[in-house]
Amino acid sequence: MRQTIEVKQGIVENGIVVLKTAHTIKESLKAGERVLVDSDNLAFVYILEDEDAFIYVTLPNSVWPVLKQALLEDLSVKLTDGKTVIQLDELNEEMNYLIDNIKDNSNYGEEMERLVEELLS
């Protein structure tokens, strides 16, 4: 079964982007240092790793403006459930790579391409 954590809010605190979720984050999770594109749901997906599974952190377009700030200012990005905090290593690098690939590329779908241009470029 695919495990998913959905980010509900993103804010900047003390020069760090903090992504908040209502899902419980296990302390054993580690940054997977990879980001995927979910064109169907108009989101990016950061991969976390557990001993025996991958956990998919959904980054909906509602938090893209704060992610854009992280990219522009090279801010660290962390995920928290209010108790556990995980540094999302390589998120900025992966996002920049994907944004460059999505621009003018209809393989990701017109709506995804439009949103990336509008919110992240």
pLDDT (tens digit, 9 = 90+) per residue, 20-47?
999 999 999 999 999 999 999 999 999 9
Can you tell me the mean pLDDT for 77-87?
A: 97
Q: What's at 90, amino acid-wise? A: E
Q: Please count the helices (runs of H) and the strands (runs of E) in the chain.
A: 3, 7
pLDDT for the residue 105:
86
Res 12 pLDDT > 70: yes
Mean pLDDT computed over every residue of the chain: 95
User: What is the chain's percent helix, strand, coil content, to nearest 5?
Assistant: 30, 40, 30
Inter-residue contact 35 to 47 (CB < 8 Å): yes
Q: Phi and psi dihedrals of 26, rounded to 5?
A: -70, 140
Q: Report CA 117 to chain centroid distance, whole Å.
A: 17
59 forms beta bridges with 44
Q: If pLDDT is split at 50, 70 and 90, which confidence band does 1 have?
A: low
